[in-house]
Amino acid sequence: MKKTVQELLLVENEQLNHDNFRLVLQSENELPPIFPGQFVNVEIKKATEIFLRRPFSILDVDPEKRQFSLLVKILGRGSKVLTTYQAGDKISVIYPLGNGFTMPKADEKVLLIGGGSGVAPMLYISKVCGLNLDQVHVLLGARSQNDHVDVSAYQSFGKFYFTTEDGSLGEKGFVTNHSIYKSELSTFDKIYTCGPNPMMKAVAKDAVAAGVFCEVSLENTMACGFGVCLCCVEKTTTGHKCVCTDGPVFNIKDLTWQI
Amino acid sequence: MADLSVKIKDLHFKNPVLTASGTCGFGQEIADFVDLSKLGGVVMKGTTLKHREGNDYPRMAETPSGMLNAVGLQNKGVDNFIKNIYPTIKDVDSNFIVNVNGSTIEDYIALAEQINELDKIPAIELNISCPNVKEGGMAFGVSCASAEAVVKAVRAVYTKPMIVKLSPNVTDIAEIAKAVEGEGADSVSLVNTFLGMAINPETRRPVLSTITGGLSGPAIKPIALRMVWQVAQAVKVPVVGMGGIMNAADAIEFMLAGATAIEVGTAIFIDPTIPLQIVDGINDYLERHNFSSVRDIIGSLQM
Ligand SMILES: Cc1cc2nc3c(=O)[nH]c(=O)nc-3n(C[C@H](O)[C@H](O)[C@H](O)COP(=O)(O)OP(=O)(O)OC[C@H]3O[C@@H](n4cnc5c(N)ncnc54)[C@H](O)[C@@H]3O)c2cc1C
Ligand SMILES: Cc1cc2nc3c(=O)[nH]c(=O)nc-3n(C[C@H](O)[C@H](O)[C@H](O)COP(=O)(O)O)c2cc1C
Ligand code: FES
């Protein structure tokens, strides 16, 4: 799909919790097809000290309105300034970037595991993977109840499970401590995950042990986002690959993680 | 429309705006955003004789108005270039220039010989200034003697225009420029990145896997401009200027300081359409100031 640099209109900026915001952007033109796992690279002009763009995954797409949304979690300066943009502001975006997840077959059962800044692509898969509610299981982890975002808009697409480290929502512990994860992992046909690297590595390790197909979406730091700087590389069984163009989604069997 | 064309030796450029090595892939990677045939030229990713994996991740650190990189010349080697990349660019109407790198003089010679055979590659940029490799690279570009040796050796086998890319990590860049001109360089391009460093105070570790890396972007522009000005006064061959060029005004500054052409690097990461915006912006500037040719402004700094 052809990539473009476009000035998009911010039509909505909704604060979801203390550090998560949902930004809805609208194009003047018809949107290109955008798949779960793909991302955009956003210019944060409001703060001149932020030089490079920042990558964010697609949370959702509404082709009719020519809109798509992002789920922005505040990490440092750039993400913080981005969340101060208001409806009516213009934001320059390069998109669509990267390759999406391998979509499941009609009879498959999938487990989507998200944490931290990796929740967006999991929600988007749940919506567009075309499976029935009982085939889609979404497991989201966070430190505490107020670190989770409201996912009620997605609960008709799958069964949701939560973990918190303090036990304030769902089961206590990490995603890998959850009962469904511990007892049913090998019953899934595909596992998809995005979030902090330690979480993805723990999931990858268990998926390998259970012999289940597993794709992860990596968040290596990027300078360009479209394959020219070679800064975002990840080691794979066939050498360094660019996370921005060869990924961000990788099958764990292609990575050289020591798991 | 003003006349934007410039020349390096007998090589014609439709305009003075090129994309810098390591920031535009081999051209095709930015073809979604820009019509490559509208560029003066494309200097492709640094190529070596053999495949190179490059340095470990992390390779990048954002800095105030710039970035550090430590890519380390990751590329698939010249055979892959000739087999898989050359066919995709040879029919595009622009100057595709190979950025030639080596760990030893023998590497440079062998690579230049192979590139010399490619009809549609009209020139090379001999990189003696990469700060991110352990062997060769910048080591050749920081003394007159080693710079002369590699330029002389490549000149003996390469018959087309040879642009030598200089390192700014030297005491007197004009001396190096004169030295390579003396050995037959048809042009010098500058600057490559400045050696820099970033530390994460929280982890107390270097941000880059290689500890140090190359600084680029607007942060280096004033120093790059000063160096281009000094070099343009010291040599007779055309100078290709770069370092932090983000817009047409920046490009024009380099040309006023004496650059015949300019390269746009890091700016492409922010917006890959910037090189073409600069072409248009230079034309607007020339019309506004009643210059009929871009050549009229080269080195025309008013004192
Ligand atoms: C393909 C991709 C998709 C992404 N999707 C989302 C998303 O949907 N929602 C979301 O909130 N975030 C997402 N991210 C992460 C987001 O890009 C970063 O949080 C953002 O760039 C941080 O910028 P900042 O200026 O706020 O932080 P900075 O000030 O740049 O960084 C703050 C601290 O975090 C570290 N850091 C910054 N970025 C990274 C990184 N990528 N990996 C490891 N450490 C890092 C820095 O070294 C620094 O110590 C994604 C990243 C990628 C590569
Ligand atoms: C990520 C990156 C990779 C680079 N790779 C090369 C390279 O392979 N060969 C080379 O001669 N210069 C390389 N450079 C240097 C640029 O071509 C240019 O000299 C430098 O970045 C200064 O210009 P700028 O500030 O416009 O980027 C690289 C720069 C960056 C940022
Ligand atoms: S971020 Fe530049 S190549 Fe991936």
Tally of CA atoms within 13 A in the half-sphere of B73 that contains its CB: 26
Residue A24 lies in a domain: yes
* Ligand 2 site, residue B256, Cβ cutoff 6 A: no
Residue A56 near residue A68 (C-beta atoms within 8 A): no
- Cβ distance of A229 and B45 shorter than 8 Å: no
Whether residue A38 lies inside any domain: the answer is yes
- Do the Cβ atoms of A115 and A196 come closer than 8 Å? yes
The pLDDT of residue B301 is: 97
Are B40 and B94 within 8 A, CB to CB? Answer: yes
Look up tokens 């921005």; give the residue: A244
Q: Is residue A118 part of a domain?
A: yes
A105 interfaces chain B, CB cutoff of 8 Å: no
Residue A119 and residue A92 in one domain: no
CA–centroid distance for A41 within its chain: 14
Atom of ligand 3 nearest to the CA of A222: 1
CATH number at residue A203: 3.40.50.80
pTM for the model: 0.97
Domain annotation covers residue A226 = no
Residue A127: its H or E element: helix A119-128
Confidence of residue B218 (pLDDT cuts 50, 70, 90): very high
Flag if A53 and B63 touch (Cβ within 8 Å): no
**DSSP string for residues in A134-168:** GGEEEEEEESSGGGSPP-GGGTTTSEEEEEETTSS
Condensed to tens digits (0 to 9), the pLDDT of residues B57-76 reads 999 999 999 999 999 999 99
Same domain, A26 and A73: yes
For B110-140, letters b (16+ CB in 10 Å) and e give bbbebbeebeebbbbbbbbbbbbbeebbbbb
Is it the case that residue B134 has pLDDT exceeding 80? no
pLDDT at B133: 80
Q: Which of A56, A76, A97 is the last residue of a domain?
A: A97
In a domain, A129, yes or no: yes
DSSP-derived pairing of the beta strands B66-69 and B95-100: unpaired
Q: Residue B300: pLDDT above 80?
A: yes
Q: Say if residue A21 is in the same domain as residue A59.
A: yes
Assess whether the C-beta atom of B47 lies below 6 angstroms from ligand 2.
no
Q: Is residue A131 part of a domain?
A: yes
- pLDDT classification of B137: cutoffs 50, 70, 90: confident
Determine the Cα–Cα distance for residues A32 and A30; give it in Å rounded to an integer. Answer: 7
The confidence band for B138, taking pLDDT boundaries of 50, 70 and 90, is confident
The stretch B147-164 carries a mean pLDDT of 97
Three-class secondary structure of residue A182 per DSSP? helix
pLDDT at B126 over 90: yes
Are A124 and A210 contained in the same domain?
Answer: yes
Number of H helices, E strands in chain A: 4, 15
Give the pLDDT confidence score for residue A259 in this predicted structure.
Answer: 75
Q: What is the CATH number of the domain that holds A86?
A: 2.40.30.10
pLDDT bracket for residue B131 (50, 70, 90): confident
Q: Verify that A125 and A69 share a domain, yes or no.
A: no
Question: Residue B236 pLDDT more than 90?
Answer: yes
A26 burial (CB, 10 Å; 0-12 / 13-18 / 19+) is: middle
Tokens of B177: 């420029």
User: Dihedral through CA B280, CA B25, CA B190, CA B240, nearest 10?
Assistant: -40
* Residue B68: Cβ within 10 Å count: 30
Cis peptide before A196 (omega within 30 of 0): no
If asked whether residues A150 and A173 sit together in one domain, one would say yes
Residue nearest to atom 30 of ligand 1 (CA): A76
Q: What element of type H or E holds A80? A: helix A77-82
Residue B135 pLDDT more than 80?
no
Neighbours of B72 (CB within 10 A): 24
What's the burial of B37, exposed, middle or buried (CB within 10 Å: 0-12/13-18/19+)? exposed
Distance from CA of A35 to the nearest CA of B (A): 19
Please state the domain count of chain A.
2
- Helix pair angle (B173-182, B221-234), 10° resolution: 40
Counting residues of chain B whose pLDDT is more than 70, the rounded percentage is 100
Tell whether ipTM is more than 0.90.
yes
Asked if A129 and A197 sit in the same domain, the reply is yes
Among B279, B300, B212, B57, CA closest to A257: B57
- Among A97, A120, A149, where does a domain finish? A97
Rounded-to-integer distance, Cα A43 and Cα B221, Å: 21
Q: B212 alpha carbon to ligand 2 midpoint, in Å?
A: 15
List of residues 6+ apart from A184 with CB closer than 8 A: none
| Cα–Cα distance list, A222 to A39, A42, A57, A129, B98 (Å) | 12, 12, 13, 28, 25
Average pLDDT, chain B: 96
Round to whole Å and give the CA distance between B134 and B71: 12
Secondary structure of residue A104 in the 3-state scheme? coil
pLDDT of B42: 98
Domain region containing A44:
4-97
DSSP line for chain B: --B--EEETTEEESSSEEEPTTSSTTSGGGTTTS-GGGSSEEEPPPB-SS-B--PPSP-EEEETTEEEE-----B--HHHIIIIIHHHHTTSSSEEEEEE--SSHHHHHHHHHHHHT-TT---EEEE---TT-SSSGGGGGSSHHHHHHHHHHHHTT--S-EEEEPPS-SS-HHHHHHHHHHTT-SEEEE--PEEEE-EETTTTEESSTTSEEEEESGGGHHHHHHHHHHHHHH-SS-EEE-SS--SHHHHHHHHHTTEEEEEE-THHHH-TTHHHHHHHHHHHHHHHTT-SBGGGGTT----
The domains of chain B, with CATH numbers, are 6-296 (3.20.20.70)
Q: Are residues A71 and A115 in the same domain?
A: no
Residues, chain A: 259
Q: How far apart are the CA of A115 and the centre of ligand 3, in A?
A: 24
10-residue averages of pLDDT along chain A (259 residues): 95 97 97 97 93 98 98 96 97 98 97 95 96 96 96 96 96 96 95 96 96 97 98 97 98 92
Whether residue A115 is found in the same domain as residue A209:
yes
* Mean pLDDT, range B10-38, rounded to an integer: 97
Do A155 and A78 share a structural domain?
A: no
Taking CB atoms and an 8 Å limit, are A240 and B269 in contact across chains?
no
Residues A39 and A65 in one domain: yes
The CB density around residue A147, as the number of other CB atoms within 10 Å, is 21
- Whether A69 is in a domain gets the answer yes
Question: Is A155 in the same domain as A212?
Answer: yes
Ligand 3 mean position to B187 CA, how many Å?
30
Is the CB of B48 within 6 Å of ligand 2? Answer: no
